[in-house]
Structure 1
């Protein structure tokens, strides 16, 4: 006999007499409750039935990050080489919105090393440009103010312009503004200045103008394409003003690069031969 998940074996004689069995009249069957949690069983941390959150030590990072700890800043550099390279390629050859490429994980590793590379290449390119301009005129001397000037220009632009833009967006009520994304966007936009600096050291002024102009056009188009959805979150008039401001500031960067590093007839490249008294 089987029923409700229980099997009982009884002996039945030929006449079908059930009188001599081991079953008692008061025998009762009770349903098992194996699926219920035992009263003394230990609940797992973070069980939804308990209504309590998981302990701080279970899952994820339990350490708090403060401004004065290295772990706070390390999280902004937590990116692998393949991600950085894919973001560099997306900056040079944009096919999708760069903020989508970041996938909600903007980094400062790529922007820092891109800016550092631009600084050193501007110094080297500017030095070669000066050397070619002064060949045969006087003994050439390295001008290390070019290095400090390049560092101040590139680091200052990449650091402070995104902060100004972020504060302006917040002031005008944009909820989609993100400072890290602004830093990443401006940092990766500097990538175009690496090839420009590598080829703009020639003494041909018009050629340098073309190279710097192409670099400005590509980088400002990259910025406008990716900043427009954020800027359009403000009112129409404000978004236009901010777009013009982005273009003007970036044009100022391009002019500064041309004048300070790759211009032979500019005020920054005047003949520095000391005057001799009569």
Structure 2
């Protein structure tokens, strides 16, 4: 009973070593407060049991912390993700059943967003080129316009990097403690996944059909962003959160319009020889071969 109440029993043995004789009536039975539940004692015991474990050097720790941002290990943690995790996160975007930030489980990555954005850039370039080729059928020459590639890279990478960065900065400005920059990048990066199937089917010369595909892609990704950003943005006051959500949807609509106009419109402003008005550029033929277009 003494042990259950938090006491230790200490029995003194006489000098003769007679273990069979214990006089409980004498002063040989003493009670001491138990230190079993004392955190400091457990910490000391754990340190003693792990004395074979090398202890960190305080000087080395302080030096490494100063150079932590400049070490590869700092950025490696954002790419430490398995193929299974990336596939699961991509499925969660296409078939959303839970909040995507909960799917991340506090371990957002930049590996998936980087390769998704890169895939979108390449597919936009290829399908935009096919769209222009179909529009120029019957002409003597057709060309790969590498301005489409640079335009796709600037649009997709710029939107995926700077819009989440700006949103995170605004949330921090208004005192939101739940905003995380890497989570914002991961959220926007995985949201770009919907543009891959949209780009694959939007190369036809039917403008109305292309508008429909881009509209579906915008609606799907906008709902995805709204659903996952709403709990984060709601950390601010009601008026501020409403304004931020409107700005988020407006910027995403701008991305969808830019994708349609720059890559799936036959009079793309990115094509030097084809102005947006549809009137052929008289200097277009003279500039072929020297403006980054590869003729075949």
Q: What's the TM-score bracket when you normalise by the shorter of the two chains?
A: 0.7 to 0.9
TM-score (norm 2): 0.73
Q: Pick the aligned partner of 1:184 from 183, 186, 189.
A: 186
1:20 corresponds to: none
Cα distance, 1:243 vs structure 2: 0.2
Cα distance, 1:29 vs structure 2: 3.2
Q: Secondary structure at the match of 1:85?
A: helix
Q: Pick the aligned partner of 1:162 from 157, 161, 164.
A: 164
Q: CA RMSD in A?
A: 2.8
1:217 corresponds to: 219
Cα deviation 1:141-179 (Å, max 9, x = unaligned): 110000000000000000111100000000011110000
Q: Provide structure 1 residue ranges, at least 5 long, that are not aligned to the other structure.
A: 1-24, 32-45
Q: Pick the aligned partner of 1:143 from 134, 142, 145.
A: 145
Q: Pick the aligned partner of 1:48 from 43, 50, 55.
A: 43
Cα deviation 1:27-58 (Å, max 9, x = unaligned): 34369xxxxxxxxxxxxxx961269798338x
Cα distance, 1:272 vs structure 2: 4.8
2:35 corresponds to: none
How do 1:1-278 residues align onto structure 2 when only pairs under 5 Å count? Answer: 27-29=16-18, 48-49=43-44, 55-56=55-56, 66-265=68-267, 267-268=269-270, 270=275, 272-275=280-283
Number of equivalenced pairs: 236
Q: Secondary structure at the match of 1:201?
A: coil
| Alpha-carbon distance in structure 1 between the residues aligned to 2:125 and 2:267 | 18
Cα distance, 1:71 vs structure 2: 1.6
Between 1:255-264 and 1:268-277, the stretch displaced more is 268-277
| Alpha-carbon distance in structure 2 between the residues aligned to 1:76 and 1:214 | 31
| Alpha-carbon distance in structure 1 between the residues aligned to 2:240 and 2:46 | 47
1:3 corresponds to: none
| Alpha-carbon distance in structure 1 between the residues aligned to 2:195 and 2:164 | 18
2:5 corresponds to: none
Cα deviation 1:70-101 (Å, max 9, x = unaligned): 22111100000000000000011100000000
| Alpha-carbon distance in structure 1 between the residues aligned to 2:134 and 2:175 | 51
| Alpha-carbon distance in structure 2 between the residues aligned to 1:105 and 1:238 | 28
Q: Provide structure 2 residue ranges, at least 5 long, that are not aligned to the other structure.
A: 1-13, 23-40, 287-296
Structure 1 residues 187 and 85, CA gap change in structure 2 (3 angstroms): same
| Alpha-carbon distance in structure 2 between the residues aligned to 1:28 and 1:262 | 98
Cα distance, 1:127 vs structure 2: 0.3
Q: Secondary structure at the match of 1:177?
A: coil
TM-score (norm 1): 0.78
